[in-house]
Amino acid sequence: MYQDGADERERRIELEESQRAAQLEIQQLRQQVQNRDQQKQLDNQQVQDQGQQIRELQERTQSTTIFEYIRNCHAVLYSRLVPEANRRLMTGKSTANRRGRPHPLEMREWNNFLGEQQDLFEEISNAFPPGYRGFSSIEGLENMGIGLFLPPTVSSPIIEGNPR
């Protein structure tokens, strides 16, 4: 009898150890599955992010319609028009002195400005087929703006990535 009790205890201990080992293995497998799921989510997010970057790049480099071009010109180029603050680059002459400069001799009210502008836009709109994309992309306008608004001595190093 004594032997039977010891054998049963050993079997119980072995069974408990076996159950603990099985539970540990189950936990490890669950952790592996969870890690794989997390990695899969990260991979999916990375693919989505890359797809978004590709779409944005295509949008920035795609030729535009006339009205997109006009809107982009205003947004990209007009935003860079700022008064010169560096006194060394100014002529030092008064802007009120018109001698030798072209200037209007008389100012008159433009009564039908809005109507004429709408007529011009309609004429421009009719000059191109609907959806015609033959105008510079946003990227092209931004590059054009660098050359337009920076003096050549400054723009070259900036474009090359070596600002002074």
Q: What is the pLDDT of residues 147-163, one digit of tens each?
A: 565 554 444 444 444 44
| Average pLDDT of the residues in 48-66 | 92
Residues 76, 1 share a domain: no
Map residue 64 onto helix, strand or coil.
strand
Q: What per-residue confidence (pLDDT) applies to 7?
A: 84
| Average pLDDT of the residues in 9-13 | 89
Give the chain's domain count.
2
Q: What per-residue confidence (pLDDT) applies to 149?
A: 58
Residues 73, 5 share a domain: no
C-alpha gyration radius of the chain: 36
Domain span including residue 50: 1-61
Cα gap 145→150, rounded to integer Å: 8
Q: What is the pTM of this model?
A: 0.49
